[in-house]
Chain A
Amino acid sequence: MDFQLLLSSYASVFTNLQVVLMTLLGAFGGILLGAIPGMTATMGVALLVPFSFGMDLIPAVGLLLGIYCGGMYGGSISAILIHTPGTPSAAATLIDGYPMTQKGQGGYALSVAMFSSFCGGIIGALIMTFASPVIARAAMNFNSGEMFMLAVFGLSVIIAISGRSVVKGLISGFLGMTLCTVGLDPTNGLPRFITRSQTGLYEGFAFIPALIGMFAVAEVIAGVERIVRGTERHAVSHEKITRVLPDGGTIGRIWPNILSGALIGTFVGAIPGAGGDIAVFVSYGANKSFSRQPEKWGTGIPNGVAATESANNGCSGGAMIPLLALGVPGDAVTAVLLGAFIMKGIQPGPMMYVSELPTVYGVFAALMLANLAMLLVGCAGVRFFAKIVSVEKTVLYPIILVVSLLGAFSINKNVFDLGVCVGFGVFGWLMNKYEFPLSPILLTLILGPMCEQNFVRYMNLNHGDFTRIFHSPIAMTFLGLAVLSILYSIWNQGRINRLQAAEAERA
């Protein structure tokens, strides 16, 4: 660790006006794009890559990281306020964020999300700065078998996010897993449940259109139903936003969630091939399990928002590690970032820490700056964003519908995806109506392909001998965690149901 070089790199990044301005611009754009369903940070980064061709590397990286971090927080704004994750990484934020809005605490939820995002991002960036060579070496040990067991561990979270009925949660999860099997089989390219002419389904149901459909479109259908039945009540938010950051008392209650969320986020992000969308669910499940009041989770408490938002921003720091040290991107945004580095003539990989150390430290500093920029822009925006809730529903729903369909289309520019989006909208509405939780479907849609690809590859590598996985300590650790998590969650859910029943009796 060359501290002299580290310090001078930080100093040169923070005092370079072009870098600071570009990062602020990126954070602003990222928050806006992230907040609009379907306009993900990935898209923002991809759109701006050609724009950054003419810039030096570090200002360009500052701009792109600004969008990345801004988008991570931005996705939570729509998740909290209108029950639609703006990006997949914000998918777990709505479990507690939206109930907070329903209780008239939308602005409060936003400030908790922003503060947690910032802390998570800074912790992730610090870990990345000081431990990345060590973590990168460990990440090399994550091969197909380990990745499969990580996915299994991720799936064990289903029970914790199922809500009241574990059975209904499992049914949702199985439905999600089944939906993952549609399309060309990822190993041999054989069509499953489709014909060769259905090119729109080759890669299965497009994930973002499905996500937008299940949440945004389903919410609009449910809203229209309420308006038609006359049960919709116009909720003018009387919440007074006196401060844009959470007060000391709140921070005192949520800091354990922030810390563990950031650590889980950084850890998951550092695994090549795993990103923020997985980290948030693992963090939510773990934090709920260790909570002293698990029955409050899912009813709208700031701890739930803190656990997920710190995880997805912590992940951005973690994801830089395999990107820079191994050249393997963890999610869609880092894949685009990889392209941007190569465009500048820098090939990320093991030689990066040998021949391009100043660049590496520059990226560390830019990530730190990007998190600060996100906090600044976010603080300025909280009051405005919170107003969305007060918009007349007959005006709001059509806007959400149009923006959602636009987002679903713009991912692949494929008209077929609009059908997927609307189809999943009806599906999501029906699921909600019969009280099947949607989060398990989302989780299985994320983890299903990862599970299948790594399992089939593992079996191919070992000529069908699965028992060899018992020789991998990492895989066995994940398996053990998965078993523990399942058993504990079932016991915990029973306790939660008893507590809630007792509370209902008292009320």
Chain B
Amino acid sequence: MKSLKKVLALTLVMLMVLALAGTVYGKDYPKKDVYVICPWGAGGGTDVCLRALCQAMGEELGVNLTVDNITGGGGIVGHQAIANAEPDGYNIGMITFELSTYLSLGTELTWENYDLLGRVNTDAAALSVNAKWAADNGITDLASFVAYAKAHPGIQLGGSSNASVWHIAGGYLEEATGIDVEMITYQTGAAAAVKAAASGEIAGVTVSLAEASSFLQSGTLVCLGVMDAERNAKFPNVPTFREQGVDVIYGTWRGMGAPKGMSAEALAALREAVAKACQNKTFVEAMANLGQTISYLDAAEYGAFLKNNAEAVAASMKALGLNQD
């Protein structure tokens, strides 16, 4: 009897140790819901992209990913919150293009403050001009625009708020073509700039094709070129800058980042989840509706991309006089 009890006790102890071992060594990340920081407001482009992505990542990880919007300071507050979060594997966030501008704006925050999980999306800048203005000045393509701009320096283009991705696109345009344009700021966003271009207040905009799409379809605006490697699937008639002999690829990007110092296991699981989510059918559909392009890069490639992006953006901001140092 006594030995039976001993055996039982021993078995139980073994079981408990095994169970414990399971929690320590087993493949058991994640154990609870993951908290995801969005540095931009609810309902905006980044927010809807992130929420759709989190749905897909949740299916991969088997837990919920809850999105919280920590906003303000042109995205700096939220980006800082991701970098400062507890690196326990349950705090991650979406990082966006603006991160590449923060150093030039006089803060310390760069892509090196994060452990990267993967790039999710890119959308190229495009040069769209008022159709009537273009016709009046004999502008039909990028070459005739550049020729006109060289003869008439200071063409006014719109590009969303100050130091935003589309504002900086103007700097890329200047550097790549050697022309001199004047970027006008529309603080309330790309939609206001597009409307201003359509009404003729400014000659054109440097926003993405998706943001100008309705006025492009109605013929009020014409797109002279997109700063992408390939043509856009929804606008197959719009040529790229490269096709027209101007070598520039530029646009906005979004990806997932985590605070530095996470366990290797959590990092690997999250990276895999991002990779798989980018192929998730529902997510692919949602992104197609949003007019956002999925362009996944794994953490290493993403890091190399961000390094280049940060340097090029800094140079462009300098050209536009946007740097504060």
Contacts and interface: CB of A to CB of B under 8 A. Distances in A.
Contacts of A342: 48, 289-291
Contacts of B47: 46, 339
A327 B205 CA distance: 15
Given A343-B286, A457-B186, A348 B214 contact: yes
B137 interface: no
A186 B201 contact: no
A348 B161 CA distance: 21
B71 A413 contact: yes
B125 interface: no
Given A144-B201, A187-B162, A327-B195, A350 B182 contact: no
Nearest to A47: B42
Nearest to A45: B43
Contacts of B289: 342-345
Contacts of A413: 68-71
A412 B77 contact: yes
A88 B107 CA distance: 32
B51 interface: yes
Interface in B254-301: 286, 288-291
B81 to A, nearest CB: 8
Given A343-B286, A460-B182, A460-B184, A46 B42 contact: yes
Given A143-B201, A196-B324, A412-B72, A335 B43 contact: yes
Interface in B170-211: 182, 184-189, 191-192, 194-196, 198-199, 201-202, 210
A112 B209 CA distance: 47
A49 to B, nearest CB: 5
A354 B76 CA distance: 40
B87 interface: no
Contacts of B199: 140-141, 143
Given A47-B42, A414-B77, A343 B192 contact: no
Interface in A159-208: 184, 186-190, 196, 199-200, 202-203, 206
B201 A49 contact: no
B156 interface: yes
B3 interface: no
B72 A200 contact: yes
B245 interface: no
B27 to A, nearest CB: 30
A112 B289 CA distance: 43
B286 to A, nearest CB: 7
Interface string B61-77: 00000001111111011
A328 B77 CA distance: 26
B39 to A, nearest CB: 11
A329 B105 contact: no
A24 B194 CA distance: 35
A328 B72 contact: no
Contacts of B105: 189, 196
Given A144-B201, A413-B68, A461-B156, A202 B290 contact: no
B191 A343 contact: no
Interface of A: 43, 45-47, 49-50, 53, 140-141, 143-144, 184, 186-190, 196, 199-200, 202-203, 206, 272-273, 326-329, 335-336, 338-340, 342-345, 347-352, 354, 412-414, 417, 449, 453, 457, 460-461
Interface of B: 41-45, 47-48, 51-52, 68-74, 76-77, 80, 105-107, 156, 161-163, 182, 184-189, 191-192, 194-196, 198-199, 201-202, 210, 213-215, 217-218, 220, 286, 288-291, 322, 324
27 contacts: A46-B42, A49-B42, A49-B43, A50-B51, A143-B199, A187-B187, A189-B324, A202-B76, A203-B74, A273-B188, A327-B191, A328-B191, A329-B191, A336-B42, A336-B43, A344-B289, A347-B291, A348-B214, A349-B213, A349-B217, A349-B218, A351-B214, A412-B77, A413-B68, A414-B72, A449-B187, A453-B187
